[in-house]
Amino acid sequence: MTPAVKLTLAEVCRVLEAEVLTGGETLDATQVTVGAGADLMSDVLAFINPEAVLLTGLANVQSIRTAVIADVKALVYVRGKQPNADGVALAEENGLPLLCTPLTMYEACGRLYQAGLPPCLLPPRCAHDNDEVQTGI
Amino acid sequence: MTTTKFRREFDVVGDDFAGAGRVSTEIKALLKRVGYAEQTIRRVAIAVFEAEMNVVMYARRARITLDMDPEGVRILVDDVGPGIPDIEVAMQEGYSTATDRMRQMGFGAGMGLPNIRRNADEFAIESEVNSGTRVRFVVHAR
Ligand SMILES: Nc1ncnc2c1ncn2[C@@H]1O[C@H](COP(=O)(O)OP(=O)(O)OP(=O)(O)O)[C@@H](O)[C@H]1O
Ligand SMILES: [Mg+2]
């Protein structure tokens, strides 16, 4: 792998041969520093870093809400999946660019990795991860 | 940053998957306007989102109470629902009773409650079967 690079969304688009569903005007100005691929939303929230591009096969409104909550810079749908009009509107409202690539999850992640985009840093295990749960409110 | 304390309340309806996440998105925007640090906002937003999703997935309805002051953000999610029979088990990463329908929507990793706990500085959960669940957490302002 080449040394870690930042990519603009325009570059992500080129590497993934992606179509822009919304947010086209910000592609040159927006940089991503890490990439992630996941279809389970709580998994995304468990490890995603800020400034990430998120690849997913889950083209519903929840993927967009999750991305907004996690400060994801752009959402890429793999295998040509597309959200419905409500989803696109929600992304637009929240300033979240949406891209759509015909590639599979495996190939899309592979291409970005090859282009030098590193994975998310996994969060350190928390000191209290193994503590007893407090049950009194 | 404001020096006052204030409280806001929100209602969440069970099984409303189309609206799910709306309250957390609203809370996130509110915290931004108040002026909390980005990291604080992110931690609260992720934790509230997970708690809100659990209400949508498993409970009938809930009241979310948000208390803000310069020290931090305190959240209480108080639901009416089936409750959790074994909290120790529910807190384990990967444990989930999500249905196939929920999994198809991207839920059921069994990471929600662990994510809340990991993003919070203080966390407590209390539940009574056939009555409801209360999740409370605090994120300190940095
Ligand atoms: N408010 C609640 N009322 C009743 N049961 C709940 C509630 N919250 C969680 N549970 C139970 O605890 C389990 C674990 O919850 P958790 O949020 O960690 O995972 P999940 O919701 O199943 O999946 P994910 O959050 O990763 O999408 C749930 O599957 C459910 O059985
Ligand atoms: Mg959950």
- pLDDT digits 0-9 by tens, A15-52: 999 999 999 999 999 999 999 999 999 999 999 999 99
Low-confidence residues of chain A, pLDDT below 50?
127
Three-state SS letters, A56-116: ECCCCHHHHHHHHHCCCCEEEECCCCCCCHHHHHHHHHCCCCEEECCCCHHHHHHHHHHCC
**Span B20-65, pLDDT tens digits:** 999 999 999 999 999 999 999 999 999 999 999 999 999 999 999 9
Residue B142: pLDDT band (50, 70, 90) is confident
In a domain? residue A121: yes
Question: According to the model, what pLDDT value does residue A130 have?
Answer: 57
Question: According to the model, what pLDDT value does residue B4 have?
Answer: 84
Domain limits at A23? 7-135
Q: Is the dihedral of CA A32, A13, A94, B46 positive or negative?
A: negative
User: Taking CB atoms and an 8 Å limit, are A134 and B108 in contact across chains?
Assistant: no
Residues with CB under 6 A from ligand 1: A 42; B 50, 54-55, 57-59, 79, 81-84, 90, 95-98, 107-113, 133
In a domain? residue A86: yes
Q: How do strand A31-32 and strand A52-56 relate by DSSP bridges?
A: unpaired
B5 Cα distance to chain centroid? 20
Question: According to the model, what pLDDT value does residue B12 have?
Answer: 98
In a domain? residue A1: no
Question: According to the model, what pLDDT value does residue B8 have?
Answer: 97
Residues of A in contact with B115 (CB under 8 A): 42, 45-46
Q: Which residue of A has its CA nearest to B114?
A: A129
pTM: 0.94
Each domain of chain B, given as residue ranges in start order, spans 6-140
Closest CA to A99 of A88, A110, A109: A88
In a domain? residue A25: yes
CATH fold for the domain made of B6-140: Heat Shock Protein 90 (3.30.565)
Question: According to the model, what pLDDT value does residue A78 have?
Answer: 98
User: Taking CB atoms and an 8 Å limit, are A50 and B42 in contact across chains?
Assistant: yes
Whichever domain contains A58, its CATH number is 3.40.1390.20
Question: According to the model, what pLDDT value does residue B15 have?
Answer: 97
Are the C-beta atoms of residues A31 and A51 closer than 8 Å to each other? Answer: yes
What average pLDDT does chain B have? Answer: 96
User: Taking CB atoms and an 8 Å limit, are A42 and B25 in contact across chains?
Assistant: no
Question: According to the model, what pLDDT value does residue A3 have?
Answer: 73
The total number of structural domains in chain A stands at: 1
Residues of B in contact with A65 (CB under 8 A): 20-22, 24-25, 49
Residues of A in contact with B17 (CB under 8 A): 62
A83 min Cα distance to partner chain B (Å):
12
ipTM above 0.85, yes or no: yes
User: Taking CB atoms and an 8 Å limit, are B115 and A45 in contact across chains?
Assistant: yes
In a domain? residue A24: yes
**Span B76-115, pLDDT tens digits:** 999 999 999 999 999 999 999 999 999 999 999 999 999 9
Considering every ligand atom shown, identify the ligand nearest to the alpha carbon of residue B103 and give its number: 1
